[in-house]
Structure 1
Amino acid sequence: MTCKYYVTSRLPWREISQASLQVEHLKTILEAGAIRRHEAYNEVYPGIVISDEATAMSSYVLRSLGITHVLNTAAHDYGLDPAIDQRYSYGAVRTSQSFYNHLSIKYFGIPAVDIVSYNLSRHFNEAAEFIDEALRKGGKILVHCQMGISRSATLVIAFLMIKKQLSVEEAIKTVRMKRFIYPNDGFLRQLCQLDERHRSARRRTRY
């Protein structure tokens, strides 16, 4: 399946409908995954743990898991991103590098919100680089948002696509087999867009 992301209503209705169908296809993969219940945290790929807010703020759990890096995809510093309306601050997790200094954990925060209109794809590459850095150093990274279902899952899926060359379907299946996740439709469309760029690049390389 080739995913396409259409962003203008001036495109033919048939193309817009096709984009919606592709998102629906990804949602069937999400709904058919192995893990049926929502858990506080799960290691979804060797060295990568997706979790909720409570796990990210528990020194005891972080130590027991051997976490060396934390990627907060729901960081509270909205001043860095003027596109975010302050009324969405209820979904933020208020941590920082200083919060983890006593654990010698390296921190990176992305101030994203879980709404379909938010452009999370602007953070795909920097998140993938941070995750990759943790794994290359032999570390273990916790990627979290508030519930560990949408924002954090989307960025881990993007990492698997960017750094491990998985298709969007393969990346979703990899994560979904280990954790209950459900990125919003806007994030799924952005993953489709990323998948299409990768397919196009491979086609250009081939010829």
Structure 2
Amino acid sequence: MTLDFSILGTVWPALLRGTTVTISLTSIVLLCATPGGIAVALLRSAPSPTVRTIVRAASWIFRGIPPLLLLFLAFFGLPVVGLTLPPMPSAVIAMTAYMSFYFGEVFHSGLQSVARGQWQACKALGLSPARTLFRIILPQTIPAALPPYISHATEILKGTALAAAVAVPELTNAAKQVFVVTYRPFEILLAAGAIYAVLDAGLLILQLYGERWAARRRAAR
């Protein structure tokens, strides 16, 4: 069989719609998992040993479960307890739960990079814990956390392909539907792979700039 890339001109709108869904799903998961990760990181440093132990155990469990299994639990398992969700919300919940604990590890490492004495100094100055966190600690945490954060963001982008398993109309699902109809799997999948590569390259460029910015921040201390 000879290759025929001219078919891409016909199927491009379908792939573009799938790309839009992929970008939307990635963005929503990032928006939800980022505060989730911050919450996990703060609970990892909670004064209570019980809370720290529970959060560590939850992190170990969620990071050890395959994301596809979490996706199936959200889509097929929740209806058993009376909560039926469409494919897109199911994918958002599953991926957010999964990535929140990965981001939690990232932010926890960033918080650990800030000297503990700064918390004590802020307390001595009468600053509230919230003001200390958002005005003093987090700005110093971001340079250390940004490069691995963006690295995990690329994993979210690629992980959205799993949502095809529950009929989310993202890029992989769109490519599958197109090549089933056109019988041109190689050309269609190659085009989908190229789109993923372009999107991933954008995030990797952000990671590169983030690493340089973090290095300048560390050098300025």
TM-score category, normalised to shorter length:
under 0.3
Rg larger for = 2
More helix by share: 2
More strand by share: 1
| TM-score, L = length of structure 2 | 0.26
